[in-house]
Amino acid sequence: MPGSPGCSWRLFWERTRAKFEGADLRVCIAFWLFGLVNNILYVVILSAALDLVGPSIPKATVLLASIIPSLATKLVVPYVIHLVPYSSRILIFAALSTCGMLLVALSPPTTTASSIASKVAGIILANISSGAGEVNFLSLTHFYGSFSLAAWGSGTGGAGLIGAGAYAIATTLLGVSVRATLLTSALLPVAMLVSFFTLLPRGPLKAARTKEVDYSRLAVDEEDDAARETAGLLDVPSATAYGKADPTQLTRALQDLKAKLLRARSLIIPYMGPLFLVYLAEYTINQGVAPTLLFPLEETPFKHYRAFYPTYSALYQLGVFISRSSLAIFRIKTLYIPSFLQILNLGVLTAHALFPFIPTVYFVFAIVLWEGLLGGVVYVSTYAAVQEEVPEDEREFSLGAVAVSDAVGICFAGFLGVGMESGICGWQVQHGRDWCRRL
């Protein structure tokens, strides 16, 4: 029967299979590994926060040491990265990541000022590489189509599950030392090199590079308009207006920068806005609210209060992985709706932390999983929209420029989360719920 469930599932399967026709397996594997390796060191570092700085130093120190260099990198790199060939970029990223992780791993296992400074320096190096790498690989998806973006998104989602899970298994279940685990992770950038230089087909990139993209067009057009207006008012011909000027290299560079800034400004409302909002909300939940979402142990599956937060983190990462892996099958068109739903999640969970009304922890589990699904789907859908809607000659730059918005959201959330966790915990203690002090 046409309306039977069997027919509906068969139609869905046929449509899904049709979407995957034409996908290059080597491209998908390469970009999945790019996403995994580029993000997994960030996850490992956050997972090792307690082991790296000790119990007396706020763990937000590690988050901020991770995200601030990444944010600074993403603010600058999109405007200059085109000067460096892709092959050289990959070598630089791998070297920075490896050196950063080696510096963290080989620092003395103490909490002295010099040891912590050395670890923070390594964290900064690794996350400069991660931030620049995200800009680079998102820009690279422009040459390899929608499946490369879907694979990249899935790889970044997998980094959360694999990174946190592998660190926990290695240091807890297998008894591997923190130093040995971090030293092993320093080898992971090799997979990035292998993926780019041996696995990824270079044809699309070489073909695209035969065409020179002129980003200065917008700036030149704007100057031409101004020159025509001046010529009309003063009755004096303008060399720029008639295209007779031969700008120097410096002038061309300034025009290029001006055009890119104009292009970046046009990306704020449709693409950067929703990505910023969803990351601000979800990382505020993760860093500032989730540690206070506690229930009496007898009403939960846990034996210790410190088990709540890792469980929330795992559910969040699972939601991110599922939604970031779904782009080839499903994407959203209206980016602000899930962003506002994420803000609603923040409001609901904050309200519960202050005035408990959610009857069971299992409802919180569902909300946290939903939080991860929303965050992941906004991430991949935003970049899919850029690929589809931005003109081709501006797409490579735009994909990289939009990447700054999630870093800004995480940075704001890091500062906001520190105050929220302390304030909410203090409120709970004053009202007879001192569970947050027992972590």
Q: What's the CA dihedral at 383, 387, 390, 393 to 10 degrees?
A: 120
Confidence of residue 247 (pLDDT cuts 50, 70, 90): low
Confidence of residue 343 (pLDDT cuts 50, 70, 90): very high
Question: What are 171-216's pLDDT values in tens digits?
Answer: 877 888 889 999 999 999 999 999 999 999 988 877 766 654 444 4
Of 285, 305, 287, 286, nearest to 295 by C-alpha is 305
- Mean pLDDT is highest, among 155-169, 232-246, 272-286, 294-308, for 272-286
**Range in 108-122, 211-225, 267-281, 288-302 with the lowest mean pLDDT:** 211-225
Distances 166 to 31, 152, 172, 287 between C-alpha atoms, Å? 21, 20, 10, 21
Domains along the chain with CATH numbers: 21-211 (1.20.1250.20), 217-251 (no CATH), 267-439 (1.20.1250)
Question: What are 288-332's pLDDT values in tens digits?
Answer: 899 899 999 999 998 888 788 888 888 999 999 999 998 888 889
The contacts of residue 71 (CB under 8 Å, 6+ apart) are 131, 404, 407, 408, 410, 411
Whole-model pTM: value is: 0.83
- Mean pLDDT is highest, among 39-48, 134-143, 250-259, 405-414, for 134-143
The secondary structure of 81-98 as a DSSP string is GGGS-HHHHHHHHHHHHH
Query: Could you give the CA distance from residue 247 to residue 358 in angstroms, rounded to a whole number?
Result: 65
Confidence of residue 245 (pLDDT cuts 50, 70, 90): very low
Phi, psi of 143 (to 5 degrees): -90, -10
pLDDT value at position 210? 61
